Each structure stands twice: as C-alpha cells, then as structure tokens.
C-alpha cells in the first residue's frame, strides 16, 4: 500500500489550545438548564467531539448522526444521505452539531434542515476546520476552530479513503 506524503498543517498543541478556547466560549454561551446535545457527525468528528466535550464545563449529552456525502476520493459527490439517525429526541433542547470540517456546505445544509424539523430549542454548529473558499451553499458556522486554505487535509479524525484518522496533527495530503 503506497500512501501520499503528508505535511503537518496544525500541530497537536495548537489544536488543544484552540479547543480549550472554544470550550470556554461554548460554556459561557450555554448557561441555561436546558439539556445541551452535542451531535457528532460520524465518523470524522469523533476525536474533536471527545476533546471538545471535555473542554465544556457543564453537562452535555452525546448523540451521533451518520451522513455520507463523499465517496472514496477528495471531492463531493453532491449526494447526501442519512446513514445513522439520532437515538434521542432533541425537541426543546439546545443542539450543537459537531463537525470535523465544513467544505462545500452541502452536508450541513442538508443536516440542518433535517434537525430543524425535530424542533430543537436552538441549533448551532461547531467545526474544527473551515474551508471558506470552497463553499457552494451558505452555511453559518457558529464556532470555528481554524479557517484553512483549499487543501485536502487528514488527521485528528479526518480521513483520506479511511486512512490517517488517527494522526495527532492535521496534515495536508500532497
Ligand atoms: P461538505 O458537504 O462539502 O461541506 O463536506 C463536508 C465533509 O467532507 C466533511 O465532513 C468531511 O468528511 C469531508 N471533507 C471535506 N474536506 C475534507 C478534507 O480536506 N479532508 C477530509 N475530509 C474532508
Ligand atoms: Mg464528515
């Protein structure tokens, strides 16, 4: 198996520091008693979700949702489908969708529509990475870790054809 070379873009330390800041902001923004659901989008968000959840200083509930919009390559197929639904009702609850990266915006546009129909009390998005140049659909990301240039990245949960999710840093696939 030959894998393409990888160039570190965001170190483990910078990621950790930024997530501490995001956790503090989110903690300050959700001071109410209402349950706060973190909805992780599988699979890419799993490491970010684990670290962000622990950076938030209040109780959170965890849910996962499965969405697929990409094939095995580097660009969107334009097609989105729900591959795993939530287990719990989010009606009347605060919901924070946790995503690894926002690229074209196709995935989140679809997901927000689906989740809004479930009547949450609030619905926001936290994404570790944002590639604003690539946007095809307008999506407002409430909490962004890092805006990055238009390059394909892996690590810290993100994959290239399922490889490299376990890298500690975010790296560019050359
Ligand atoms: P969107 O629907 O185009 O915004 O795509 C979002 C999804 O595409 C993300 O959740 C990732 O799974 C995937 N994706 C987009 N850009 C990258 C990248 O640079 N590396 C790895 N996955 C990516
Ligand atoms: Mg994803």
Q: Where are the domains of the chain?
A: 14-25+35-68+81-150
| Structure confidence at residue 72 (pLDDT) | 54
What is the pLDDT at residue 71?
A: 56
Task: Indicate whether 70 pLDDT > 60.
Answer: no
Q: Which residues lie across from 164 on neighbouring strands?
A: none
pLDDT at 68: 81
**How far, in Å, is the centroid of ligand 1 from the Cα of 101?**
5
Burial readout 128-162 (b: 16 or more C-beta within 10 A, e: otherwise)? bbbbeeeeeeebebebbbbebeeebbbbbbbbbee
One of 3.40.1050.10, 3.30.390.10, 3.40.50.2020, 3.20.20.140 is the CATH number of 14-25+35-68+81-150, namely 3.40.50.2020
C-alpha to C-alpha distance for 57 and 30, rounded to whole angstroms: 10
pLDDT category at 12 given cuts 50, 70, 90 is very high
Among 40, 45, 70, name the best residue to mutate to test ligand 1's pocket (greatest count of ligand atoms within 8 A of Cβ).
70
Minimum-distance ligand 1 atom for the alpha carbon of 159: 21
Which atom of ligand 1 approaches the CA of 106 most closely? 2
Token pair for 76:
């969107």
pTM of the model: 0.94
């Amino acid at each position: 198996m030959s894998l393409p070379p990888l160039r570190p873009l965001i170190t483990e330390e910078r990621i950790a520091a930024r997530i501490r800041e995001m956790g503090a902001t989110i903690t300050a923004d959700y001071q109410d008693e209402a349950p706060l659901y973190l909805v992780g989008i599988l699979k890419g968000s799993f490491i970010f979700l684990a670290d962000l959840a622990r950076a938030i200083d209040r109780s959170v509930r965890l849910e996962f949702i499965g969405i697929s919009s990409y094939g095995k390559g580097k660009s969107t197929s334009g097609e989105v489908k729900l591959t795993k639904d939530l287990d719990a009702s989010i009606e009347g609850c605060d919901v924070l969708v946790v995503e690894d990266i926002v690229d074209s915006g196709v995935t989140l546009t679809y997901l927000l529509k689906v989740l809004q129909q479930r009547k949450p009390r609030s619905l926001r998005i936290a994404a570790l990475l944002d590639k604003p140049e690539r946007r095809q659909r307008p999506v407002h990301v409430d909490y962004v870790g890092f805006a990055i240039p238009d390059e394909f990245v892996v690590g810290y949960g993100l994959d290239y054809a399922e490889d490299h999710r376990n890298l500690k840093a975010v790296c560019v696939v050359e």
